[in-house]
Amino acid sequence: MEHDKPLQEQQTAAPDQTVLTRPYAEISAKLHLLLHTGQLLMESGADSDRTVRDMMRVAAYMGIPEDRVHQHIMYTTLMLNINDETHSYTEFRKCKKHGINMTALSAVSKLTWRALANNYTLEEFEQQLMAIKNRPRNYPFWLTALGAGAACGGFCKLFGGSWLDFFLTALCAFLGFYVKRLCTSYGFNIYAVIAITSFVTTMLAWSTQFLTGTMNWYPLIACTLFLVPGIPLINAVDDLLNNFIVSGMTRAMNTLLVVGSMTFGIVIAIRLGNVADFTNVSLQPDTIYFSQAVAAAISSMGFSIIFNIPRRLLPVVAVGGIITVLLRNICVMQFGLSQAAGSFLGAAVVGLIALKAIHWFHTPNIILTIPSAIPMIPGVLLYRLLFAILNIQTITLAMLLDGLRSGILAIIIIIGIAIGVAIPNIFIHRYIEHNKQRTVEDLLARRYTSE
């Protein structure tokens, strides 16, 4: 049997055209490509479960038996081991930078299926993988900055601000996004970049009072929300729910550091501006229908541009954002449900709709569900908790408890959103994976039949 041959013998003896039918032929190259795939996924914002699934699909394409592949996924490190009866190959790969690139996530998923169906050579697979990695973003930087401005403006309107507040917020966030790029270009520490950006953006929002003649509270609240790590928050919960404990805790700690850096910059700005704690401003929306729907669509599309989703999916995500926000508002304001319950139901409905939509638009469900749910992320509630902690020496016990309650509520809402968008994976995960595995087996059977 081929499985019983020593790895080194198979690696040197296998001809190129039979590499895919010999599990351990060119094993070093296969290890390299598997880890490169995982690294691209992790650095593009994939959760650990998706990273494992796509890497296992690549291993299947390479002809490596599932029970011979062992993975250990962490936020910053990937470890892969492949073994036969007599040899064991292990390799590590560091994930050096983390961002959000949903076009890359979609492209890698499609590549794994194409490689299986078309029996790509390892060289062809590597070429296409590198093409995905080096592909320019779908949107120029100025348009991405506009997207950040629109996203924050949409949040401002969702919180109950006026359309004037929307435009002031969008302008401040647009300029703040350029500040972030400038700091990054100088190689500043990522948390320093976030603190500086939030400081400058908040000062810009504070200075809008000289244009309008009064303090504009809603721009102060919403102008920095393009920095809120919404997808890392959801991924952290998703990892913990899927038993990737180390990766989930690392993501959660990174999220806390990001939000803490944001809060530090905001606090410095409001202290210099002699502004009272603005997180206690009422966040009740003015209506629950038309203006909220428009704001949700704008916010979802704005974040989608930041996340670099394919252009053709922007209208789809806008509709998803409208569905999630309107369902949440109706549940909370018409039926008296909690914000956590309303957010869960909004995310769950989109998660269920995505089961069909992924076949209509030929894209992974994460591309449709998460940008649709992002407008429900309770960034201000997290601010309230951190402001309470920062001012713990001067605030009353009642104010401290209120801040803690806001933080706990924010965590519950985030868990509700994460569970909602993951409804298909939670309840019918086995059915979905069974169908995918059957497709993989059919493609592999076709390969061996044609030999």
Which of 340, 333, 337, 325 is closest to 412 using CA atoms?
340
Question: How confident is the model at residue 314, as a pLDDT?
Answer: 93
Across the strands, what pairs with 178? Answer: none
Token pair listed for 7: 């790895």
Question: How confident is the model at residue 429, as a pLDDT?
Answer: 59
Return d(Cα 229, Cα 250) in angstroms, integer. 13
Query: What CA–CA distances, in Å, run from 223 to 66, 160, 204, 354?
Result: 48, 14, 9, 30
Which of 449, 99, 114, 105 is closest to 306 using CA atoms?
99
Which of 63, 18, 184 is closest to 443 using CA atoms?
63
Query: What CA–CA distances, in Å, run from 236 to 22, 191, 247, 272, 273?
Result: 37, 18, 7, 34, 35
Which of 40, 103, 51, 100 is closest to 313 using CA atoms?
103
Return d(Cα 188, Cα 183) in angstroms, integer. 6
Amino acid letter, 441:
E
Full-model pTM: 0.86
Token pair listed for 61: 């394409």
Return d(Cα 421, Cα 436) in angstroms, integer. 20
Confirm if 64 and 29 have CB atoms less than 8 A apart: no
**What DSSP character marks residue 135?**
P
Q: CB burial class (10 A; 0-12, 13-18, 19+) of residue 210?
A: exposed
Return d(Cα 386, Cα 403) in angstroms, integer. 8
Return d(Cα 42, Cα 354) in angstroms, integer. 22
Region label for 181, one of left (φ > 0), alpha (ψ between -120 and 50) or beta (otherwise): alpha
Question: How confident is the model at residue 301, as a pLDDT?
Answer: 95
Question: Residue 301: enclosing H or E segment and its boundaries?
Answer: helix 290-306
Residues 6+ apart with CB under 8 A from 3: 23, 24, 65, 84, 85
Token pair listed for 121: 């050579």
Return d(Cα 125, Cα 135) in angstroms, integer. 15
Question: Residue 88: enclosing H or E segment and its boundaries?
Answer: strand 88-94
Alpha-carbon torsion, ordered 347, 352, 357, 362, to 10 deg: 90
Question: How confident is the model at residue 39, as a pLDDT?
Answer: 95
Across the strands, what pairs with 81? Answer: 70, 90
Q: CB burial class (10 A; 0-12, 13-18, 19+) of residue 213?
A: exposed
Confirm if 223 and 153 have CB atoms less than 8 A apart: no
Return d(Cα 334, Cα 342) in angstroms, integer. 11
Question: Residue 83: enclosing H or E segment and its boundaries?
Answer: strand 77-83
Match 């638009």 to its residue by tokens.
361
Q: Half-sphere exposure of residue 358, counting CA atoms within 13 Å on the CB side? A: 17
Question: How confident is the model at residue 5, as a pLDDT?
Answer: 43
CA angle 404, 407, 413 (to 5 degrees): 140
Question: How confident is the model at residue 129, as a pLDDT?
Answer: 95
Question: How confident is the model at residue 287, as a pLDDT?
Answer: 64
**What DSSP character marks residue 70?**
E
Question: How confident is the model at residue 274, as a pLDDT?
Answer: 83
Token pair listed for 358: 């992924």
Q: Give average pLDDT by consecutive 10-residue segment, the chain, 451 residues.
A: 42 52 83 94 92 92 89 92 86 90 93 90 93 94 96 89 92 96 94 96 93 87 88 85 90 89 88 73 66 91 94 93 91 86 90 85 86 83 75 80 86 84 67 72 72 55
Question: How confident is the model at residue 380, as a pLDDT?
Answer: 73
Return d(Cα 104, Cα 98) in angstroms, integer. 13
Amino acid letter, 13:
A
- Give tens-digit pLDDT for 142-175: 999 999 999 999 988 888 888 999 999 999 999 9
CA angle 426, 307, 294 (to 5 degrees): 90
Token pair listed for 268: 């410095």
Return d(Cα 68, Cα 87) in angstroms, integer. 11
Across the strands, what pairs with 89? Answer: 82
Three-state DSSP state, 72: strand
